[in-house]
Structure 1
């Protein structure tokens, strides 16, 4: 039996009025803002802060995001953004986000991040110490 995935972080948030469109539903681009906020929470959980991650010689930039909307979210909804490491490559990682309301899945986001040197912003493999932190979060592979 496979263990359920354990999130790196679960970030609660409440939908604010200005995040909704004329139909009263969260405007689609705001879901990317939610996952961006959650990635800063990941850095906090793993390294203490975004600044500390930078001090370790690592930063990430978004290379690709894919969103799947399952159910609409509306003003004042209480959501949770759960963050999971899906893949760790040499110079990139893939993060899965699940946005839920009351335990029901509303939105799935898969984002590929590329590691960059914080000074040059050029693609670079992360330092070994950073890679080890992320590698420890990879889901166990079945035998």
Structure 2
């Protein structure tokens, strides 16, 4: 996917504690990068993914699937752009696509697809996404809800 397909970008600089003995980002840290960027993406859309909001509403998102395709390593102290967009809106789920690029470059380091399910915290079963979430995501990313 081209960078132009993404309206949201989160900047991050690789920290020393995230690299391995080869000077490249250890693979587990990419999930953390995706999680941070997702949280900030949702915050930018006015959607709160925090403990207080989850307790008040009785519902929260659960990660149910994450895939990663590594194309090239991120390096120590490298500046990155983590691009996030919603690819699909289901009844109770969101599918996000996340790409990691070197800052202001088109070369792709990683592509991830992450699926979250909105879940009732009492029953631990999926529940419909809030209408305001759907409206905010549609307005920002232009993706339509699927039936």
TM-score category, normalised to shorter length:
0.7 to 0.9
Offset from partner CA, 1:17-43 (integer Å, 9 cap, x none) = 111112211011100000000111012
Aligned residue-pair number: 136
| 1:132–1:119 CA distance, 2 compared to 1 (3 A) | farther
**RMSD of equivalent CA atoms:** 2.2
TM value normalised by structure 1? 0.83
Q: What does the per-residue CA deviation read over 1:115-137, in whole Å, with 9 as the maximum and x for residues that have no partner?
A: 12356553111122222222332
> Within 2, Cα distance between the matches of 1:62 and 1:14?
25
1:113 equivalent among 111, 116, 122: 116
1:30 paired to 2:29: yes
| Structure 1 segments of 4+ aligned residues over 4 angstroms from their partners | 55-58, 118-121
Equivalent position of 1:128 in the other structure: 131
Q: CA deviation at 1:60?
A: 1.4
Moved more, 130-139 or 37-46: 130-139
List alignment gaps of at least 5 residues for structure 2: none
Write out per-residue CA displacement over residues 15-72 of structure 1, whole angstroms, 9 at most, x where no aligned residue.
0111111221101110000000011101211116434864566531111111111111
Task: Structure 1: give runs of 5+ residues left out of the alignment.
Answer: none
